[in-house]
Amino acid sequence: MALTDGTEQRRPRAPLAPWLKGSLLTLGSIAVTMLGLLFVTFIIGRVMPIDPVLAIVGERASQSTYDAVYEQLGLDKPLLVQFFYYLTDVMRGDFGMSLLNARPVSEDIARVFPATLELATMGVFMGIVLGVPLGVIAAVRRGSWIDQVARVVALVGYSMPIFWLGLMGLLIFYGILGWVGGPGRLDIFYEDIVPARTGMILVDSALAGDWSVFKNAFSHIILPASLLGYYSLAYISRMTRSFMLEQLSAEYVTTARVKGMSERAVIWRHAFKNIRVQLITVIALSYANLLEGSVLTEIIFSWPGIGSYITTALLSADMNAVLGGTVVVGLIFICLNIFSDLLYRVFDPRSK
């Protein structure tokens, strides 16, 4: 269609597709979050009352040696320049060298992280399998003895210090009863028998078909995983109960019951279906907390995971290892948030 002056009428541009706009916003949010995380970890490394040069050369080194290492680390440059170098190194996956063993921090993290992943995954699995049904039943039987037991279980899980539970568990189930394995991931006899394909001993031993190693590894992981699972169960069951109580008091539930629908169908097909999206966030947060917050559990059970690695590095003034582990933990939180957002779009069409 032409206008009177002979120029062609411009058609209005089609709006950017909602999914593309949402993807761009998500990527932008991830980039800003990662930049903020890296900046915070960089500042922490600079304000900590630890001199990385002294940690390398020792207190008896000469001033010339100290100055040479100081310049080699780039500490003589402006703070913004140091942050730029730090940013470019991290983007390449280079977290520097560990002061404890003179190995790249990225290699150390890749070695210890599977142990934490295995422990936290088993713990959150226990929390989901036991916590979700317990929360649902407690909501359906509100005020009954089952509800009271569920609330006490959740309260104890929040209140009891995990290090105390760990010590009592080792004393009773390992020291007295002998039902589980002791600290560590394996007995010395079973170490280095199966090839480390994934770094998770249960998976590697199953892939190798060596069930004696699998049984021994399971006896070692079951107690610390149960403690983390109990902590996860307390959180998941409490939130599930709260979500279900809100849905069971809704009008559509009353309508379904009036129409003669079975109680099982009302609970699981309608009420529980409407809390799945909320549970996604709860489970993702619980999993992230177990991956990041299992430091005390790993220390008590001598579990060689990332929590123990960061703690040992901090006590040894190995800031490269501390900052590298902190960045990895922060990246885990970001990835789990992205994953939960994707599941939101799958289970809740309104969020698309």
- pLDDT values of the chain reduced to their tens digit, one per residue, 352 residues: 444 444 445 555 544 456 566 667 767 777 788 888 788 878 877 777 777 777 677 777 777 887 787 777 777 788 888 888 888 888 888 888 887 777 888 889 999 999 999 999 999 999 999 999 999 999 888 888 888 888 888 888 777 888 888 888 889 998 888 888 888 888 888 888 888 888 899 998 999 888 999 999 999 999 999 999 998 898 899 999 999 998 888 888 888 888 888 888 888 888 888 888 888 888 888 888 888 767 788 888 988 888 888 888 888 777 788 888 888 888 888 888 777 777 776 666 555 5
In angstroms, rounded to a whole number, what is the distance separating the alpha carbons of residues 266 and 79? 61
Nearest to 303 by CA among 182, 185, 165, 166: 185
Indicate whether 103 belongs to any domain: no
CATH code assigned at 329: 1.10.3720.10
Contact (CB, 8 A) for 248 and 275: no
Counted residue by residue, the chain has a size of 352
Structure tokens at 344: 């939101």
Q: Do 116 and 47 belong to one domain? A: no
Query: What is the count of structural domains for the chain?
Result: 2
Domain boundary among the residues 38, 62, 91 is at 91
Q: Do 344 and 217 belong to one domain? A: yes
Structure tokens at 38: 């890296």
Indicate whether 15 belongs to any domain: no
CA-based R_g, the chain, Å? 26
Q: Do 211 and 258 belong to one domain? A: yes
Range of the domain at 272: 112-351
Indicate whether 129 belongs to any domain: yes
Indicate whether 168 belongs to any domain: yes
Q: Do 315 and 238 belong to one domain? A: yes
Q: Do 261 and 231 belong to one domain? A: yes
Q: Do 24 and 63 belong to one domain? A: yes
Can you point out the beta strands (E) in 47-108? none
Q: Whole-model pTM above 0.75? A: yes
Q: Do 26 and 120 belong to one domain? A: no
Contact (CB, 8 A) for 131 and 239: no
Q: Do 170 and 253 belong to one domain? A: yes
Please report, for residues 163, 306, 324, the alpha-carbon distance to residue 309 in angstroms, rounded to integers and kept in the order given.
18, 5, 11
Q: Do 143 and 257 belong to one domain? A: yes
Q: Do 63 and 147 belong to one domain? A: no
Please report, for residues 85, 243, 275, 315, the alpha-carbon distance to residue 321 in angstroms, rounded to integers and kept in the order given.
17, 40, 40, 11
Q: Please return the burial class of 220, using the count of CB atoms within 10 Å of its CB with bins 0-12, 13-18 and 19+.
A: buried
